Structure 1
Amino acid sequence: MAIVRPNLDQLQDLASRLHMRLTSEQASEYLALMQSSFDAYDLVDELPDEVPEVRYPRSAGYRPSGDENPCNAWYYRTEVQGSAEGKLAGRTVALKDNVALAGVPMMNGASTLEGFVPSFDATVVTRLLDAGATILGKATCEHFCLSGGSHTSDPEPVHNPRRHGYAAGGSSSGSAALVAAGAVDMAIGGDQGGSIRIPSAFCGTYGMKPTHGLVPYTGVMPIEATIDHVGPITANVRDNALMLEVLAGADGLDPRQYAPPVDAYSEALGRGVEGLKIGILSEGFHLANLDPRVADKVREGIARLERLGAVVSEVSVAEHGLAGSLWHPIGCEGLTVQMMHGNGMGFNWKGLYDVGLLDKHVGWRNSADALSASLKLCMLVGQYGLERYNGRYYAKAQNLARRARAGYDQALDRYDLLVMPTVPITAQPLPALGCPVTENVTRALEMIGNTTPLDVTGHPAMSVPCGQLDGLPVGLMLVGRHFAESTIYQAAAAFEAAGDWQTF
């Protein structure tokens, strides 16, 4: 069918929004000249979209409630059986609800997206199913993934399975909660500011944020392409490594990927840590809100690695704080342009676009008051930077990100791994519904001090449970060189084998 053509009045109004002044005669000429372009639009409109084939049968499923969903960790339940054999045969998986699963609703934690149903599977979904996994549904996530707490998901918060009424962490809140509760063996999470590692630390799971670009983001709703990561959350190290083996590698559809090298990650699990050089990142212990009990528990974990044979010493990376600061202009201005003004997709990249998502997400403008407080804050910061300073701070922050990465790289030239607390606190009580904006936002962002820097620099980082405080998990974060996930798994597996972390 033909697209709708503008009339003269509409064209002049359009020109004025582009800061042009056209006379009626000029507008008429331009309108005639535009018709050949619109003919091309008609052709595009007539052709079928180029999207991947859906190869595994499934039903739309249903939204569970009550006793079937005690932590509100499930958004939708369904069952998609993968291949009869493969590395993940017999394993069950939950997908963060920003991951496209064809035919099954996807809300990304936000009421403004409710009713959207993807038409194709994300690359990570296809790879999981090809490897024999069974997908059991979509895990609740935070409102457009803009919270490290678990109180911003619509319509209600996600509870920590280890203590009801406490945060599960975010934004992959349901993913970590379902793994910790034993409802699934593994889950897909996403990480732009810590959203795999934070809920893993709060819930006591193993959460790997891979090197930027190692795992294709194709079919996952983006926030900002330069900090978008997707990766595994599991109950043990072996499952995590096996899952990453399945997920890693280029798919030819994601511009975040630069022919990433992949590895047989599970082969690193029995190597031990004898002689492994681990640097204790001083700045990671200097966060203003670091609970000293968390610091002590992480240091106990580091001492355990040292007793296992690792060579441990203190190291400073002054750029740790810089990278955390760079996250604000990159994240806020970037998400405002790509996820919000760009209707969930943005422009100027080659790859697989979700046209249906773009069509649905445009509706946020009609319900902007319903956006979460933390997303509104980021949008206000981002829009101000774009309008007042023309995006120069986004651009400069991206330039400075190379310096930040170099700071970590220099330390990782001397050490095999860096270590620090994943988050400065344990899971906190969920804030009350309708709490003041300041409390809402504070509880959404209070835990990101050590996680955001690694999203800016792209280094792989994994949260490993290392003990408990008052029955709530503590996370220890291991950071490696780009594409050195195997080294992280090597240390994580040795730590896991040293004893039950819940008794530490």
Structure 2
Amino acid sequence: MSVVRLPETVTVTAAQIRETASRIGVEVPEEDLDAYRVFLSGLDSCIDQIEAEDDYLPFLDAERFPRSNVHRPTPEDNAKEFNAWAYKIHIASTNTEDKAGPLAGLTVAIKDNVNIATVPSLLGTDVLQEPYVPEYDATIVTRILRAGGTIVGKAACENFCLAGSSFTNAHAKVMNPLAPGYSAGGSSSGSAALLAGATPVVDIAIGGDQGGSIRLPASYCGIVGLKPTYGLVPYTGIVSLSSIIDHTGPMTTNVLDNAKLLSAIAGKDGLDDRQIEAPEFGLDYHTPLLAYANDPKAAVKGMRIGVLVESLEVPGLDARVRDKVKAAAELFRGLGAEVVDVSIPMHTLGRIIWTVANTQGISEQALRGQNPVRSGVHDAKLTKALAHWDTEMFKKAQLHNPAVNVCLLGGEFFKTTYPGVTDKAINLSRKLRDTYEAVIKQQQLDVLLLPCTPTIANYTSQVSDSIIEKMGKATGIGLNTSPLNVSGHPAISIPIGMLPVVEPGREADKDLKLPVGMQIMAGLWQENKIYRAALAFEKSFDWRVL
């Protein structure tokens, strides 16, 4: 590269050159320091001009979408709603046409990593000195408002969205409405908790899913959660974990509402470069399902459904969960579907690919604000806030969620010790995608069944627990979900039954039953098939008595 011009004033010191060089492991000869000071000062002179410009962010129509009553609920009030709120707000469109949209009359909770202008994003952490306050609405927020939805708050999420359990939020632990003290799953814990229970707090919610974070809490809480095909729903204005696995999607109490919410948010927005292969905005997943609402058997009659053998053999899978999935497969057979066992050996490598492909990305992109040079909308203020970590921040993260620090250290470890391994793992993620697609096409499968969480919800950890104890509560939880994040395949979690608690140390809860979640996955962009199978099961059986 070349500099635009030589600077009028040399602003970079020799010490800065030496320090910068040492970070990349080189030493600049003393006799050349002044030359590099000149050229880097040329770069430095560009900064002032960029900083002087107004940022170029998506337009916020505050008149059409006014926001009011923005506040954090008191700890006492939040505890009444399972500690599931980060902020409460009220946003509804003033436009007459919007008010008559498909989401009219529905209250919506938005996961706290999704931008809502003027409303702080806590991100489940106390590491930042000041919460990040977005200046624009995420694309999906605007689309929900245009569809007539009323946004009533930001749902609490796990610490930096890096947890499959709901015990890591630095402000308050999100509780499972079905069993206080038990995990609601993560990282979209608040979204799930607000939907679960006898009387849901909201009608529909948005979650995020980079390793299972929509499906895991859906499984633990007995709700419906869909991770769409990678790129189907725009990620513009949502805090990234790792750009190759970022997904956002609908969480609901039933399948029809899930399809309705997906219809409102899916399709290209012209800003998110994850959406290269995505269809245009204006999809309808809901209307076609209505034809099956009173005839659920018709939704799956003639479908060819595979049971993914390797998913039933993952380490730590409760045999009772395996039996529930097998029983659900037989129920599908009874509805008129053809059900077959399917082997995809590479599925077991998927979780390893996920780990190696994303640890460095999470460390640099999500935790240190080192955003890659990609097109789209960047949140410069958040990048600045995360650019420099210190020991105090490290200690705060460790207290609530040691997984944050594992990613921080692990990303740097991979980068410096095994250069190139992340790149190879990303290449293998395409192989995993192609392998799933090949089997689905060769065996003419409509959908595949596999367990979601390997167990039912477990009991809370304590802040005083060791790092090993805290991490142990979530270890292995995403073995069957994370492979579909790196492959990009769509998958939904639906409840298929209940199981009694058998967790060591919780013998007093032996009469308590908690939900079992099952995933239904399909080929890329085949959400319609997933919805048909999910609706057929939901309308034909009461999972609470299975």
Q: Could you state the TM-score of these two structures normalised by the residue count of structure 2?
A: 0.88
1:448 aligns with 2:478: yes
1:251 aligns with 2:269: yes
SS of 1:240's equivalent?
A: helix
The match for 1:174 is: 190
Identity %: 40
**CA shift in 2, pair 1:474/1:17, >3 Å:** closer
2:76 to 66, 78, 94: 66
The match for 1:49 is: 55
1:398 aligns with 2:426: yes
The match for 2:327 is: 300
**CA shift in 2, pair 1:363/1:13, >3 Å:** closer
Deviation larger for 295-304 or 194-203: 295-304
The match for 1:483 is: 525
1:123 aligns with 2:139: yes
The match for 1:469 is: 499
**CA shift in 2, pair 1:120/1:388, >3 Å:** same
**CA shift in 2, pair 1:8/1:433, >3 Å:** closer
Shift of 1:364: 3.9
Give the residue type in structure 2 aligned to 1:57. P
The match for 1:323 is: 350
Shift of 1:363: 5.0
**Residues 223-274 of structure 1 deviation map (CA, whole Å, 9 limit, x = unaligned):** 1111111111001111110111111111121111114126421134225100
Structure of greater relative contact order (alpha carbons < 8 Å, 6+ residues apart): 1
**CA shift in 2, pair 1:17/1:424, >3 Å:** closer
1:186 aligns with 2:236: no
The match for 1:196 is: 214
Shift of 1:476: 1.1
Structure-2 separation of matches of 1:104 and 1:57: 12
Contact 2:230-2:489 at 8 Å conserved across structures: yes
**CA shift in 2, pair 1:329/1:68, >3 Å:** closer
2:395 to 353, 369, 374: 369
Unaligned runs of 5+ in 2: 1-7, 293-297, 501-512
The match for 1:163 is: 179
The match for 2:254 is: 236
SS of 2:409's equivalent?
A: helix
Aligned length: 500
SS of 2:353's equivalent?
A: helix
Structure-2 separation of matches of 1:332 and 1:228: 13
Contact 1:197-1:422 at 8 Å conserved across structures: yes
Contact 2:108-2:152 at 8 Å conserved across structures: yes
Written as runs of structure 1 = structure 2, the 5 A alignment for 1:61-460 is: 61-64=70-73, 65-70=75-80, 71-82=82-93, 83-113=98-128, 114-181=130-197, 182-261=200-279, 263-269=283-289, 270=292, 272-341=299-368, 343=369, 346-365=371-390, 367-371=393-397, 372-390=401-419, 392-413=420-441, 414=443, 415-460=445-490
**Residues 443-493 of structure 1 deviation map (CA, whole Å, 9 limit, x = unaligned):** 123311110110111100000111111321111110000000000001111
**Residues 85-135 of structure 1 deviation map (CA, whole Å, 9 limit, x = unaligned):** 211111111111111111011011111135221111111111111111111
Shift of 1:432: 2.1
Structure-2 separation of matches of 1:258 and 1:126: 21
Deviation larger for 456-465 or 148-157: 148-157
Deviation larger for 162-171 or 464-473: 464-473
SS of 1:384's equivalent?
A: helix
Unaligned runs of 5+ in 1: none
Contact 1:179-1:235 at 8 Å conserved across structures: yes
Shift of 1:68: 4.1
SS of 2:323's equivalent?
A: helix
Structure-2 separation of matches of 1:7 and 1:384: 30
Q: Could you state the TM-score of these two structures normalised by the residue count of structure 1?
A: 0.95
SS of 1:423's equivalent?
A: coil
Structure-1 separation of matches of 2:315 and 2:52: 57
Structure-2 separation of matches of 1:293 and 1:16: 55
Structure-2 separation of matches of 1:411 and 1:23: 57
Shift of 1:352: 0.2
Contact 1:281-1:317 at 8 Å conserved across structures: yes
Structure-1 separation of matches of 2:31 and 2:107: 65
Structure-2 separation of matches of 1:381 and 1:370: 18
Structure-1 separation of matches of 2:11 and 2:69: 37
Contact 2:263-2:285 at 8 Å conserved across structures: yes
The match for 1:495 is: 537
Give the residue type in structure 1 aligned to 2:91. V
Structure-2 separation of matches of 1:386 and 1:407: 28
Structure-2 separation of matches of 1:4 and 1:176: 55
Alignment RMSD:
1.9
**CA shift in 2, pair 1:19/1:435, >3 Å:** closer
Deviation larger for 323-332 or 62-71: 62-71
**CA shift in 2, pair 1:318/1:359, >3 Å:** same
Shift of 1:67: 3.7
Give the residue type in structure 2 aligned to 1:208. L
SS of 1:79's equivalent?
A: strand
Shift of 1:173: 0.5
Structure-1 separation of matches of 2:449 and 2:21: 55
